[in-house]
Structure 1
């Protein structure tokens, strides 16, 4: 086995990991083969055989570098917090690399295991059962788990919509992870995640949760979602994507009595075409703590302007997202978004706009920019992710013709909006396109920004840069932004 200080060690799964370890490392059930690393018992009867049951002395000496150097390398193998940290794909990627690190040598094992256990993802109750046994056998590991992702990814072609409940997952882990901070539930179009009162009771038993993310989830009513978020008094970050309700309507009287409002600092609303969700957030949270708001124009149309007013001067980062399917019937009603109340957007120095819409950009982006109240905005980013759909109609397009993503009128409207006096301190306008395009025609369409030397256009360097899930263009942009493709 390689020594900790060996030169040329490449802790990557393709080189260092035996073939049988190349499964999904986020699925604790499939890591059973690697029980030497994770000490996951294959059955209850093998708990006593776990290496952790009898502590092993680890030689951390190195003839070349101190062990701290290698621990720093292992730390760098993981994605940083705040950059899609709880995304199950990033958990899988990181755990494959970390498992290879853990198998490198004994000196690398403690730090690798620390990171492997910090974020876990499960899609099956059998995995949770084994993980619960691991925590029971080694209670000290419970204090390492900070992020739990529960997801459903199995697909049954032709099967009618199916709802699955998370109570079984939560019941086995209740009170076993006292420092859990991030809780993520991801369903699919076919398999929605469902929450009942028992699930809410279980979630309330995790006192340290500050971040909750719900995707393809279904509740009996908006009030049930309210009971869920109110059961997490320390909640600071809430993300809802494609959250649906059996019953429409919202009455604040249906919520339990609350001593204090939630102090949410970050809110994400994607594809939640329900004004009742906005009403819930207005009724249960204090707007002065809002610092980051990510909304699509569905949310903007269904009360997003009230969220912006509610946040007022506290808002520091705003990301807007437009989808053609969601707003093609709203073309004439895109003006409600008003940033005139959010004077502290200057502190973020950045306004990010993502657009996949078939509606012309000149319809809504300049209108939004004209409402900016601060004169201290330093950076504006517009991400266009239309090209994946356009290229699908003509697969021979390796380089798209000019103006197929953005018309000359669109460019002129944006150029004019950003040339107003309130943007005099603007230092960069960044336009990113997700496909190979000829950049020069676009550069010529922003003459005033070009003369100021603040124009930056980044065409897609890789036709597959936005990964598989075309259904989530906004999340794809964020994922690739943290990977550095859109910088």
Structure 2
């Protein structure tokens, strides 16, 4: 390889594309130049699914401390009854002490899913060790249950240096009085990206949106199940609290119960984006199940009440063009009129429709674009095949 004259950067890029452990072990034995990159890919993410995995990881840190700097992320998914019957033995209960005891480990990301997380039921110094993991800037929580919102608040306080938080399908075992919940609010001053997914019950996410100060938030991806009669939901409060810095928003709204349209008062309370003074990109995820008659009254109301002159791009995500035509047929004319009137008429750069897939049996793009004659005339309409979405 040396005689071939290939730069080490190209070789490292090739190693990065190897996903299986055996291949990475093989590349680590080729030569000294390949060893660091191979180790990085081998040990960058440590997956812990059984209590024994954590014990092996602790042994590795003790016997091979030179491996510690390569560890950047922990992924914990323990399918065990220990979290219920012997919570102090669970992985989530023991990993902070083990990681914090090795100064060479500087975690960047922590992922926890399908867990019962009970920080106040572990050792008295648990939160102290947790807060010592100050290098963690990204936290992913999926299907995690806490004793109460108070425990969730303690976890967030321990990770006050977060820049990215993903909180999806969180729950708590018991509810707190609304006044008490408000008193235990917290602040994440460095957080710039937030991704939440809330279906019933939405109380944990409601607390996060309503009572967490996010002075630097820029990117939000929100999938939310809205109730027609639950006045305690906190989505509307989030726009008022964080609208001053929010630049990019991805929003998916579903209805908790089928039937009549959303009451106007619910839409006004929960979906008023007028406080979002810096909003530049709005993505509306409309990929609902086929056969479900969507209620787009919230969508047209939301668009018609945006009065800021900062918005440059609107993106609609659908499963396919036929799905979009069937879903938007009754609202297309209204959407077309809203997006070509003030304040959008002179500020919008593009209105993009993304489709997850295309089928030869589906109508061509022209059948779809004919639903939006004004956008088409203004050359704002774009129809493209969807790619995995990410904030830019």
Instruction: Decide: shared fold, TM above 0.5.
Output: yes
The gaps in structure 2 that reach 5 residues or longer are none
Q: How does 1:119-158 map to 2 (within 5 A)?
A: 119-152=45-78
Structure 2 match to 1:316: 247
2:216 is the counterpart of 1:293: no
1:481 matched to 2:389? The reply is yes
**Alpha-carbon distance between aligned partners in 1 of 2:146 and 2:259, rounded to the nearest angstrom:** 27
SS at match of 2:195: strand
In the alignment, structure 1 residue 274 sits paired with structure 2 residue 195? no
Aligned length: 364
Distance verdict in 2 for CA 1:435–1:310, change over 3 Å: same
> What is aligned with 1:90?
none
Following TM superposition, by how much is the alpha carbon of 1:402 offset from its aligned partner in structure 2, in angstroms? 6.9
In structure 2, the CA distance between the partners of 1:255 and 1:452, relative to structure 1 (3 Å rule), is closer
**Structure whose residues are more often helix by fraction:** 1
CA distance in 2, matches of 1:170, 1:323: 37
Deviation at residue 117 of structure 1 after TM alignment: 2.1
The alignment status of 1:70 with 2:11, answered yes or no, reads yes
Gap change, CA 1:138 and 1:383, over 3 Å in 2:
same
Structure 1: how far apart are the matches of 2:367 and 2:295?
17
Asked whether the equivalents of residues 360 and 410 of structure 1 are also in contact (C-alpha less than 8 Å), the reply is: no
1:321-336 equivalence runs, <5 A:
321-323=252-254, 331-332=262-263, 333-335=266-268, 336=270
What is residue 345 of structure 1 aligned with on the other side? 279
Structure 2 CA distance for partners of 1:295 and 1:326, relative to 1, 3 Å:
farther
2: CA distance between counterparts of 1:355 and 1:376? Answer: 23
1:362 aligns with 2:296: yes
Report deviation, 1:441: 1.6
In structure 2, what is the equivalent of residue 194 of structure 1? 117
What's the counterpart of residue 464 of structure 1?
none
Which structure carries more strand by proportion?
2
Q: TM-score, normalised by structure 2?
A: 0.79
Give the 5 Å matches for 1:399-438. Answer: 405-423=326-344, 424-436=346-358, 437-438=362-363
User: Residue 220 of structure 1 contacts residue 247 of structure 1 at CA under 8 Å; is this kept in 2?
Assistant: yes
Matches within 5 A, 1:47-126: 61-75=2-16, 77=17, 94=19, 99=24, 102=27, 105-106=30-31, 107-126=33-52
Which of 221, 236, 243 does residue 148 from structure 2 map onto?
221
Q: Which string of whole-angstrom CA distances, capped at 9 and with x for unpartnered residues, describes residues 82-116 of structure 1?
A: xxxxxxxxxxx845597277258323232121233
The 1:372/1:96 distance shift into structure 2, 3 A limit, reads farther
User: Structure 1's 298 and 101: CA in aligned 2 closer, same or farther, altered over 3 A?
Assistant: farther
Q: CA deviation at 1:366?
A: 1.9
Output the CA distance in 1 between the equivalents of 2:187 and 2:255: 35
Quick one: distance in 2 between partners of 1:101 and 1:418?
A: 56
- Flag structure 1 segments of 5+ consecutive residues without an equivalent: 6-60, 78-92, 388-399, 461-476
Tell me, yes or no, if the aligned pair for 1:132 and 1:172 is still in contact at 8 Å: yes
Is the 1:265–1:290 Cα contact (8 Å) retained in structure 2?
yes
- TM-score, reference length from structure 1: 0.65
- Once the two structures are superposed, what CA deviation does each residue of 1:325-369 show, in whole Å capped at 9, x if it has no partner? 5776772233331121111113xxx21111234353532222222
Cα 1:195/1:355, change in 2 over 3 Å: farther
Q: 1:165-184 CA deviation, whole Å, 9 max, x = no partner?
A: 42144454343364112111
Offset of residue 143 of structure 1: 2.3
Q: Is the 8 A contact 2:220 2:249 kept in 1?
A: yes
- Aligned residue number for residue 241 of structure 1: 168
Report the Cα offset of residue 146 of structure 1: 1.9
Q: CA RMSD in A?
A: 3.6
